[in-house]
Structures are given as structure tokens and as C-alpha cells.
């Protein structure tokens, strides 16, 4: 007995595919006609809820209200929502852990396991275990800041404050203060473990004036060696460059995340204004990917710099240290 062959595509029958295609086509047509280009060409009156007003781009986060004299912005509210969301999800998933996990627990375990394996592959088993909590927290906070801001309501719910209208919620990553705060936490985290593992020797890479002072001391004793003095100046100058690179690292962390997330928000607003309903899902998919990449870059670079900080600068030569840095950066990317 032969079974009849299934007809259709992707496991669906042709009538269902035709219905889906018609629905998609209707959405595309309505989206085009209700957008700014369609309105300029055909002047069709649509209900107000279907027409997206011209977006107003502003970088500064407005103050909505104050708590004990402390100003609260819409990006701060969004950041708190991200923290509350992550805490609640962690509590819901872990309060009844099962040996055979359900789908939500399996996804949660997969994400944490993947980040943990990434930490071990870059920093080693011992250091990876130590760095995992901070690196994982940075990754989840940055990623969910970006993803939650794509939910309808972020940017569309307006409130009146200080005599003008503002968004109630706005992605925390689009406020310069949030990336700066995460970058400072990352820098403090790297410095803490560097100082903890190496001690005062970790500071020598930034303040390496010992050879210069020793050569000047020998100069007063009548032992003149201009090469020692010159090399001492070079060591001090290189230390200054290392300290400058640390400051530049904070700036780079901050503006990389802020620039990419702000550009993504502007892209979503413009796409919704020009072609609502039709291309939004494409832009949203792109922003989901960008949010993941930015979280991975921020957390990954924090992990790489922490790994480099705990490496002994006294046990390796300058050339060996450079080679180890290249290997860590290669693994991190």
C-alpha cells in the first residue's frame, strides 16, 4: 500500500501558502500606502493608529521626574526594567530546576553554558570560572537592554513632563551614561583582578619610573650612563602610553555601544515612518542581531583585557607578552 505524496512547500499545503502570501502582500501594500512615500504619492486617508508621525531624533535623555531630588530619565527606567526582567526570569527558571529541563530552562542553561565555555576558552579553567559572573552579567544586561527596547511601547508611550511630551521608555544603551557606566565597571573589574593576581607589579606597566630613578641615582654617585637614562625615559614614556590606552579603552567601549545602539534606534524609527508594517520585521531582526553582537563584543573584550591583566609581566619577556596578547585577542574574536 503506497501512501499519497504530500504536496506543498515547507510542510504546508498550497491553499495555506496562498493565504499566507495574500496576507503578506496586503500588509506590504498597506504598509507602503500608509508610509510617508505612499502618503505623498496617493494621499489616502488612513486611521491615525496606522500612520506613523515624523520621528524626532534627540540624543539627550529627558528628565521625567525626580526621586529625593535625583532626576530620573526614561533610559534609567528602561535599565531598571531590564534588571527586574533578568532577576525575575532567573528566579522563575531556577526555583524549580528539573533534571530533564523544560524548554525555558534548556534555553537558559544553553546561554549560560555557552558563555561559560567562552570564558574558559579565553581565560583558562581557573580564571574563566572567576571571570564568568561579571562577563555573563555584562553580556545579558547589554543584550536585553537592546532586545527589550524593540518591544512595542518603547518610544510610543508618551508622557507629559516639564511642559513637553517625552517617551516613557527608551533603550538604556542609547543613553551615553549607561555605556559609560558599564565601561567603568569593566575597567574596575580588570584592574581589580590585575592588582589581585600580580600586586604592585601590575601598576608597573602604567607607572614604570623605577629604571629612570635608579639611573638618575647612579648619576649622582658619579656613575654616568646616558643609555640607562635614555632607556629609563623610554620605559616611563611607554608606561604613559599604556595608561593612555586604558583611558582610550573606556572611551572606545562607551562610544562603540552608544553609537551602534543609537544608530539602530534611529533606523527603526525611520523605517517605521517610511514603510510601516512592511519592513519593520526585517529591521527588528537586524537589531536583534546587532544587540547580540554588541553584547558579545563588550563582554568579550572585558574578558580579554581581564585575561591579559592577570598575566605576569615579570615572568615573560616583552616579545612573549605581545604574542600572548595576540593569541587571546584571536580567541576572543
Q: How far apart are CA 236 and CA 244, in angstroms?
A: 12
Per the DSSP assignment, residues forming a β-bridge with 71 are 66
Q: Are 287 and 268 in contact (CB under 8 A)?
A: yes
pLDDT digits (tens, 9 = 90+) for 26-79: 767 766 666 666 766 777 776 665 666 666 777 778 888 888 888 888 889 999
Instruction: State yes or no: pLDDT of 315 exceeds 60.
Output: no
pLDDT digits (tens, 9 = 90+) for 232-284: 667 777 777 888 888 888 999 999 999 888 888 887 777 777 766 656 667 77
Q: Quote the distance between the C-alpha of residue 152 and its chain's center.
A: 21
The b/e string for 312-324 (b: 16+ C-beta within 10 A; e otherwise) is ebeeeeeeebeee
Judged on CB neighbours under 10 Å (0-12, 13-18, 19+), 243 is middle
Q: How far apart are CA 73 and CA 66, in angstroms?
A: 9
Q: Are 170 and 75 in contact (CB under 8 A)?
A: yes
Q: Are 171 and 75 in contact (CB under 8 A)?
A: yes
Phi and psi for 100 in degrees, rounded to 5?
-100, 100
Mean predicted lDDT score pLDDT of the chain: 78
pLDDT of amino acid 160: 77
Q: How confident is the model at residue 216 (pLDDT cuts 50, 70, 90)?
A: low
Q: How far apart are CA 284 and CA 269, in angstroms?
A: 11
Cell triple for residue 191? Answer: 584592574
pLDDT digits (tens, 9 = 90+) for 104-138: 888 888 999 999 999 999 888 889 999 999 999 99
What share of the chain in percent tops pLDDT 70?
72
Instruction: State yes or no: pLDDT of 143 exceeds 90.
Output: yes
Q: What is the DSSP letter of 311?
A: S
C-alpha to C-alpha distances, 312 to 1, 167, 198, 204, 260, nearest whole angstrom: 74, 49, 6, 11, 35
Q: What is the DSSP string of 7-38?
A: -SBTTB-HHHHHHHHHHHHHHHHHHHHHSHHH
Residue given cell 565601561 in the structure block: 183
pTM confidence score: 0.76
Amino acid at each position: 500500500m503506497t501512501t499519497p505524496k504530500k504536496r506543498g512547500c515547507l510542510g504546508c499545503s498550497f491553499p495555506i501558502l496562498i493565504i499566507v502570501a495574500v496576507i503578506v502582500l496586503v500588509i506590504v501594500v498597506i504598509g507602503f500606502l500608509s508610509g510617508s512615500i505612499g502618503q505623498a504619492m496617493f494621499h489616502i486617508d488612513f486611521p491615525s493608529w496606522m500612520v506613523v508621525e515624523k520621528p524626532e531624533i534627540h540624543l539627550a535623555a529627558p528628565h521625567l521626574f525626580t526621586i529625593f531630588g535625583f532626576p530620573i530619565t526614561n533610559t534609567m527606567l528602561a535599565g531598571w526594567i531590564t534588571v527586574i526582567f533578568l532577576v525575575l526570569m532567573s528566579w522563575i527558571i531556577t526555583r524549580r530546576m528539573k533534571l530533564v529541563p523544560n524548554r525555558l530552562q534548556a534555553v537558559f542553561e544553553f546561554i549560560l553554558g555557552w558563555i561559560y565555555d567562552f570564558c574558559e576558552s579565553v581565560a583558562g579553567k581557573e580564571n574563566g570560572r572567576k571571570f564568568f559572573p561579571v562577563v555573563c552579567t555584562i553580556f545579558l544586561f547589554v543584550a536585553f537592554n537592546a532586545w527589550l527596547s524593540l518591544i512595542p511601547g518603547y518610544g510610543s508611550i508618551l508622557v507629559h513632563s516639564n511642559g513637553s511630551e517625552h517617551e516613557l521608555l527608551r533603550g538604556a544603551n542609547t543613553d551615553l551614561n549607561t555605556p559609560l557606566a558599564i565601561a567603568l565597571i569593566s575597567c574596575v573589574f580588570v584592574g581589580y583582578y590585575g592588582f589581585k593576581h600580580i600586586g604592585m607589579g601590575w601598576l608597573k606597566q602604567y607607572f614604570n619610573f623605577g629604571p629612570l630613578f635608579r639611573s638618575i641615582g647612579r648619576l649622582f654617585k658619579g656613575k654616568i650612563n646616558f643609555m640607562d637614562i635614555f632607556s629609563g625615559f623610554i620605559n616611563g614614556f611607554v608606561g604613559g602610553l599604556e595608561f593612555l590606552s586604558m583611558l582610550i579603552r573606556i572611551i572606545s567601549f562607551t562610544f562603540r555601544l552608544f553609537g551602534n545602539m543609537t544608530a539602530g534606534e534611529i533606523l527603526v524609527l525611520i523605517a517605521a515612518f517610511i514603510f510601516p508594517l512592511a519592513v519593520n520585521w526585517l529591521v527588528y531582526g537586524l537589531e536583534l542581531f546587532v544587540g547580540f553582537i554588541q553584547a558579545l563584543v563588550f563582554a568579550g573584550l572585558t574578558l580579554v583585557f581581564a585575561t591579559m591583566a592577570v598575566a605576569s609581566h615579570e615572568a615573560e619577556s616583552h616579545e612573549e607578552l605581545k604574542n600572548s596578547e595576540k593569541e587571546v585577542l584571536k580567541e576572543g574574536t
